[in-house]
Structure 1
Amino acid sequence: MPAEQALKQSAADIEKNIKIKLLERNMSQVELSKLIGENPQSVNRAIHGANSPKSAAIRKKIYRVLGM
């Protein structure tokens, strides 16, 4: 189970880093979703570490917008 634990930890780290960047910019997830042209539910899933290809693509957009 070490791989599963590492995966969970990575997802938690991603979520934490994105939320910190949002706080630094005084930006909500809804504002972020409008900025990158994705619906808020998809952005939320991506931030919380969903593993789908769509979530990975959304995270790339988030990283670019937030300078990560």
Structure 2
Amino acid sequence: MPLEEQLDQAKQALTIAIKKKMLEKGWSQAEIADTLQLNRGVVSRAINGDANPQSVETRRKIYKILGMEGE
């Protein structure tokens, strides 16, 4: 499998895992953005697997909110 395809699959798996946990916990992207005092676009990019440093840091915060640390 080409590397880019592997990267796309990893991003999809990440997005699915975060969204499942959001549903379980009853959080919306808007609520996460408000809680973290971030723009909704920043949260959306992080959830959708963007690789820039801001998205990585935002994902770490999202993992903490959703109780995903260590997963």
Same fold (TM over 0.5): yes
The aligned runs of 1:14-33 (5 Å cut-off) are 14-33=14-33
**Which AA in structure 1 matches 2:23?**
L
Deviation by residue 1:32-65 (Cα, 9 ceiling, x = unmatched): 1111221111000111111111111100100111
Query: How many residue pairs align between the two structures?
Result: 68
Query: What displacement does 1:12 show?
Result: 0.3
TM-score, normalised by the number of residues in structure 1: 0.92
Deviation by residue 1:4-53 (Cα, 9 ceiling, x = unmatched): 11110110011001100110111110001111221111000111111111
| 1:36 paired residue number | 36
Runs ≥4 residues deviating over 2 A: none
Distance in 2 between residues matched to 1:38 and 1:6, nearest whole Å: 29
Distance in 2 between residues matched to 1:67 and 1:7, nearest whole Å: 24
Please, which runs of 5 or more residues in structure 2 have no aligned partner?
none
